[in-house]
Every structure is written in structure tokens, then in C-alpha cells.
């Protein structure tokens, strides 16, 4: 047995490991707000100690108290494993269940130093998107996954492994919940408090569901977004050539933006306040050039635009991006250094909030000025419009609506989600680039065959997706696991998955394949300022779709499922869920994929159709023709003149 397998099977060590120093070569989470009173801090320490036998408590209690004082959280740094955490071949992990081994592979990828934003704090992306709250939870979860069989289900409460429970082979191997708060206790400071107590966590989207695949995970959607943004302002445009895309952020998901702009053949200017994130992305090939002098950067960008170059240019010095997390490191105020801002965040949080809101006003004024000069602005799902309005910035129309659309309202909603297209993804469990290249070829062949009979309404999406998958290998987007993302509808997902399963059975693929998707999808997320912002019947503030989706996935064949509070636009602002599914070449896998993937997409299309979205109405009627067992309630449209004639006060 390898040392890796022995270490995983050991779980929480019976003897205390040596105390570890912080690894200064990786990025670390900012110190969190000192929000607990004395009794609550004592409770947080009690909560942390329950993972360990009593003979360890005299050593660990003062250590955890010091962590809580220094970092605002108890991470249990002493228990960081000595082995390298990364995606490996599925067989490298100890297991009795191949499904459980696949989950070990996926969550390990989320914590890879090359992937995770703050790996030693178990944060994958977004400033606070956590896989686990502490290292004891990681060790215990990996041990359970190594020991479990296919008649058990592991239950995870916000990172805490509650235990293995008897189930059956068609049940999920893991069920994840993150941040499931009573609604009246779901404000930002509630996250600070209850996370510090060690009883909940912010799983973001694919962080807490073990489905993050690095910045590639969002790059395809970003490519589609900027392509269609260019087409929106220039009907003759085929791509982003000769245009400049200005944005911010290179940590976590944001790293996708410069790569996407280059794939779309445009010029990208991206600002980032954390030098570690900037140079990490440049080293990985996601940013081409870095400038500290803004005048030099602008000269370079203008020249690139005139020459129709495809190039990404980073500005090392500023970052206004993650407004789902504005007070805890997501958005940095102008005129304050990264280090000083992190200090103010902890020691003077009220002043930090004022500085952020002052910057939001300035930021909005700049956007308004440039928009008046012809710039096309859109909120790319980071809650900018919402937080700018809360800062009393000039972002609202007279009727109270936002001056600008979100990208889902303008682009992704009507062009993709309503037709059922969303971020399908897969990971090769061999961790072999050769297998990934085979899956790319198979997926392209499947889509080209579907394209032959595709209706006119979806041919543009099909064409963009075929171009994407054919160029995916040469764009060198893999960081961590051998993974790929591809926007596809239910038909595309099912036929691609079926082809993968057949290739595993025949031996063309050397090992199983894990299927999944971003939560940012057709059905997975209820988010009134992002994923469901193009729903206008009032139901954008409800969460039935996301809850129904995860329940439906769980009994239709998912290997694991998750449901989260928060993600993308912030804690208390969204409910989102996801799944993972292992394809192993068996008839069982074929049955599961056809049942679950059809539901996972068409649940959202039906809801969008009921909201009277015409594209979704087209798509759900087509789905009912394809599967006679689907029968969806269709909406009638009321006449505007009739409604306006009513005496309603």
C-alpha cells in the first residue's frame, strides 16, 4: 500500500503531528472579522476540539484560540497533510467504491495549490468559496470515502462529515449541503459569525460541490458572453477582433476572462490587486503581459486593437470584482494598498465598508461616463449593480430598475439558458491528457452529427460550441485535472455522455469519466440578479427550481449532489446546486445518464417556459416531442390591452 493510501485511510491521526508553519509561497485568505464575543469564541474552540480525543485538547485548545485570534477562523493548520493534494488517477486513491474514489479525485483537485485561491484555508475561489471549514473535516471525509461501499451514502453538513448511512447502489454516494441557514439568519454578518463558530460554510458553487476545474470552468461561458457582446454592438462582428474588453480580477474564476477574450480574438485589459494572483496566471499562460504603468498599458492596448491582435494585458495595481463578498476581500477600495486594505478590513471594518462604497460610487460614475461615449457595459454576475445601488451610486433609472442589464438578461439567458444550453463538463479519471484528447474528439463528432438536423434557432450556439471543442486542446486550458467544459443542451449532453460510456466499455478510453456542470446553468441556480435575472413573472425571487433540481438529480442516478446558500452574487442572495456522475462503461451508467441529464436540463427550461420566455417555450415543446414521457404545463399569454384596461389601483 502506498504512503498516500495509508495517510488517507488513517484519517485524523491518533498522535499529534508536528506543528506546521504557514506556506508563504501560496496565497492566504485575509484575516476575517472579529465578530464573536468571549462566550462564542469559547464555543468555537469547543466545536473544533470535538474532532479530537481528549488527550490532545490541552495542546490544541490554546493553538486553536490563537488561530481564532490571528485569522478569525480555526483552520487547524497543524493537520495539513504531508502529501501533495492534487487530482490523480482514480486508482491511486484507496477505495472500495469507484464512485467514492472519483469523489476523492475531484475534491483533491479543488485543493490543489495550482487551482485553489487560498489552499491552506481550504478556499477554492471567490475569496470564501470553501471545500471544508478545517483540515479535520478534510481528513475525516477522505477516510470515509476510502472506507465506504456502494450501499452507503456519506452526508456532509457544510463540510462536516456527519457519517456514512445505509442506502443502496442507485443512491448518491455523497449528499452535500452548504450554508443552509434559516432565512432570517442569512445575512453577510451571519456567515461571518456562524462560519467562525465552525457550524456552516460558504460553498460558493463548484468549490463546496467538488466540481471546480480551474479557470477553464468558466472560460467557455465567458468566451460565449464576449463573442455575443461583440455581436450585440456590431452586427457585422463574427468575434471580438478590433475590440477591447476591460474587466478585473485574476483570482479563482476571474482568471478565465483574459483567456476567453484571446480565444474570442480580442484585446483584454484585466486589473488585479494581488500580485500573487497576477503572476500565477501569467505563469499558467492565462495572461500574456503584465504592466504596472497605466499609460504604457493603454498605449499597448490601443496598438493591439488597431493591429487586431488577440492579447491579454494585466494591470498590477487594482481590483474591483467580487461583490458577492464586498466586505471580506472580494472588492478592494481605490487608493489603498492591498496590505493596508486587508488590515483595515479586520481592524476597522466600518471604515473599510465606507471606502468600498465610495469606490463603488466612483466606479459607477466612470461606467456612466464611458457608456455615454459608446461603451457597452454589462454586469458579469458579480453583484456590481446590486451593491452599487446599495452604495447610493447613480445606477438606477427613475422607475427603480438598473440602468444596465446583467449578462444573463442580455446574452446568456435568451441565447443559451432558455434553449437549454449550459456549462456541461467532464473529467477523465485516468488523469491522462490522451484520454482528454479522445473525449474532445468524441464530443466534436457528436455535436457535428446533431448539427445536421438542428433547428435554425440553435445553430449559432451549436456552431460556437463545435468551434470551441475543436480548438480546446490547442488553447491549453487545463490546470489541475484533465477536464473539459462545453456548453450543450440536454440532447448534446446525453449523446456525448452515452458516447463516452461506450468508449469506456470498449477500452477506447482507459478509465471512467466524471460528468458534472457548473451550478451556473439552466436549472441549477435560483439567483434574481444573475442566473434567473431574465425571468420576469416575479418568480426570480423563489428557489423552487434549484431545490427541485437537486432532489430530482439525487433519485435519477447522480453519484453525488449538493445544494448551497450563496455563490456568485452572495450569501443570502442565491440558492444553487450541482451534481457529479461517474461513467464506468456499464449499462447502469447508461441508464442513469439518460434519466438524470434529461431532467437536469429540462426542469429549468420548463420553469423558464412557464415564465413566458419564448425561447424556452420553443425548447420545452421540442423536448416533449423528443420524449413522450415529458408533459409540461404551458403558459398562456395575457393580452396587454386587456390587462391595461382593468381598474387596478
Q: List pLDDT tens digits, range 219-243.
A: 888 999 999 899 888 989 989 999 9
Q: What is the mean pLDDT of residues 604-617?
A: 97
Q: How far, in Å, are 116, 221, 241 from residue 421 at the CA level? A: 27, 10, 25
Query: Residue 453 and residue 448: Cα distance in Å, rounded?
Result: 10
Residue-level pLDDT at 251: 76
| DSSP bridge partners of 487 | 423
| DSSP bridge partners of 123 | 118, 130
- What does the angle CA 267 – CA 521 – CA 393 come to, to the nearest 5 degrees? 60
Q: Structure pTM?
A: 0.91
Topology agreement, domain 3-196 and domain 416-640: yes
Note the CATH number of domain 416-640: 3.40.1770.10
Each domain of the chain, given as residue ranges in start order, spans 3-196, 216-407, 416-640
Query: For the segment 350-408, what is each residue's pLDDT rounded down to a tens digit?
Result: 999 999 999 999 999 999 999 999 999 988 877 899 899 999 999 999 999 999 988 88
Residue-level pLDDT at 76: 98
DSSP 114-140: TT-SBGGGTEEETTTEES-SSHHHHHH
Query: For the segment 130-186, what is each residue's pLDDT rounded down to a tens digit?
Result: 999 999 999 999 999 999 999 999 999 999 999 999 999 999 999 999 999 999 999
Superfamily of segment(s) 3-196: Urocanase superfamily (3.40.1770.10)
C-alpha grid cell, residue 554: 439525487
Percent of the chain residues past pLDDT 70, beyond the cut: 99
Q: How far, in Å, are 9, 92, 94, 97, 172 from residue 2 at the CA level? A: 11, 9, 9, 18, 28
Class of domain 216-407: alpha beta
Three-state secondary structure of 313-347: EEEECCCECCCCCCCCCCECCCCCCHHHHHHHHHH
Amino acid at each position: 500500500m502506498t504512503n498516500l493510501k495509508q495517510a488517507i485511510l488513517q484519517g485524523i491521526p491518533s498522535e499529534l503531528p508536528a506543528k506546521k508553519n504557514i506556506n508563504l509561497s501560496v496565497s492566504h485568505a485575509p484575516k476575517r472579522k472579529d465578530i464573536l464575543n468571549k462566550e462564542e469564541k469559547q464555543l468555537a474552540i469547543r466545536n473544533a476540539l470535538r474532532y479530537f480525543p481528549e488527550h490532545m485538547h490541552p495542546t490544541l485548545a490554546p493553538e486553536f484560540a490563537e488561530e481564532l485570534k490571528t485569522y478569525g477562523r480555526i483552520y487547524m493548520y497543524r493537520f495539513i497533510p504531508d502529501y501533495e493534494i492534487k487530482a490523480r488517477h482514480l486508482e491511486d486513491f484507496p477505495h472500495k467504491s469507484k464512485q467514492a474514489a472519483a469523489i476523492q479525485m475531484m475534491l483533491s483537485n479543488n485543493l490543489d495549490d495550482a487551482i485553489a485561491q487560498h489552499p491552506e484555508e481550504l478556499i477554492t475561489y471567490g475569496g470564501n468559496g470553501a471545500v471544508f471549514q478545517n483540515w479535520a473535516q478534510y481528513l475525516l471525509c477522505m477516510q470515509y470515502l476510502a472506507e465506504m461501499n456502494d450501499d452507503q451514502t456519506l452526508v456532509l453538513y457544510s463540510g462536516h462529515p456527519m457519517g456514512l448511512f445505509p442506502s443502496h447502489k442507485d443512491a448518491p454516494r455523497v449528499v452535500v449541503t452548504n450554508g443552509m441557514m434559516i432565512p432570517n439568519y442569512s445575512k453577510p454578518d451571519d456567515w461571518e459569525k456562524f462560519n467562525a463558530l465552525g457550524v456552516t460554510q460558504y460553498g460558493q458553487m463548484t468549490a463546496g460541490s467538488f466540481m471546480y476545474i480551474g479557470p477553464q470552468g468558466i472560460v467557455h461561458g465567458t468566451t460565449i458572453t464576449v463573442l455575443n457582446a461583440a455581436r450585440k454592438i456590431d452586427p457585422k462582428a463574427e468575434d471580438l477582433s478590433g475590440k477591447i474588453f476591460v474587466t478585473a480580477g485574476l483570482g479563482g474564476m476571474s482568471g478565465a476572462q483574459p483567456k476567453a477574450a484571446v480565444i474570442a480574438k480580442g484585446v483584454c485589459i484585466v486589473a488585479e490587486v494581488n500580485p500573487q494572483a497576477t503572476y500565477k496566471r501569467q505563469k499558467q499562460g492565462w495572461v500574456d503581459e503584465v504592466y504596472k504603468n497605466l499609460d504604457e498599458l493603454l498605449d499597448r492596448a490601443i496598438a493591439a486593437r488597431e493591429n487586431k491582435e488577440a492579447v491579454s494585458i494585466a494591470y498590477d495595481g487594482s481590483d474591483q470584482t467580487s461583490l458577492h463578498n464586498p466586505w471580506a476581500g472580494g472588492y478592494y477600495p481605490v487608493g489603498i494598498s492591498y496590505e493596508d486594505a486587508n488590515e483595515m478590513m479586520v481592524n476597522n471594518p466600518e471604515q473599510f465598508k465606507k471606502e468600498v462604497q465610495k469606490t463603488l460610487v466612483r466606479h459607477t460614475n466612470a461606467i456612466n461616463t464611458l457608456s455615454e461615449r459608446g461603451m457597452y457595459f454589462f454586469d458579469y454576475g458579480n453583484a456590481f449593480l446590486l451593491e452599487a445601488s446599495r452604495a447610493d451610486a447613480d445606477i438606477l433609472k427613475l422607475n427603480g430598475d438598473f440602468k444596465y442589464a446583467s449578462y444573463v438578461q442580455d446574452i446568456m439567458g435568451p441565447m443559451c439558458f432558455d434553449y437549454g444550453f449550459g456549462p456541461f463538463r467532464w473529467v477523465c479519471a485516468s488523469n491522462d491528457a490522451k484520454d482528454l484528447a479522445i473525449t474532445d474528439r468524441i464530443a466534436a463528432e457528436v455535436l457535428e452529427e446533431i448539427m445536421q438536423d438542428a433547428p435554425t434557432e440553435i445553430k449559432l450556439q451549436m456552431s460556437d460550441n463545435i468551434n470551441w471543442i475543436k480548438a480546446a486542446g490547442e488553447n491549453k486550458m487545463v490546470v489541475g485535472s484533465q477536464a473539459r467544459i462545453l456548453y450543450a443542451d440536454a440532447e448534446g449532453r446525453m449523446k456525448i455522455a452515452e458516447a463516452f460510456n461506450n468508449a469506456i466499455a470498449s477500452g477506447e478510453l482507459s478509465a471512467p469519466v466524471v460528468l458534472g456542470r457548473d451550478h451556473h446553468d439552466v436549472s441549477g441556480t435560483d439567483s434574481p440578479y444573475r442566473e434567473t435575472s431574465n425571468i420576469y413573472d416575479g418568480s426570480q425571487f423563489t428557489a423552487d427550481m434549484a431545490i427541485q433540481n437537486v432532489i430530482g438529480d439525487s433519485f435519477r442516478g447522480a453519484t453525488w449532489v449538493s445544494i448551497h446558500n450563496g455563490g456568485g452574487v452572495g450569501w443570502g442572495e442565491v440558492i444553487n446546486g450541482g451534481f457529479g456522475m461517474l461513467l464506468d462503461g456499464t449499462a447502469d451508467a447508461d441508464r442513469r445518464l439518460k434519466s438524470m441529464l434529461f431532467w437536469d436540463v429540462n426542469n429549468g427550461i420548463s420553469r423558464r417556459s412557464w415564465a413566458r420566455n419564448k425561447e424556452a417555450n420553443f425548447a420545452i415543446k421540442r423536448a416533449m416531442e423528443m420524449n413522450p414521457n415529458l408533459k409540461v404545463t404551458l403558459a398562456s399569454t395575457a393580452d396587454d390591452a386587456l390587462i391595461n384596461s382593468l381598474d387596478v389601483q
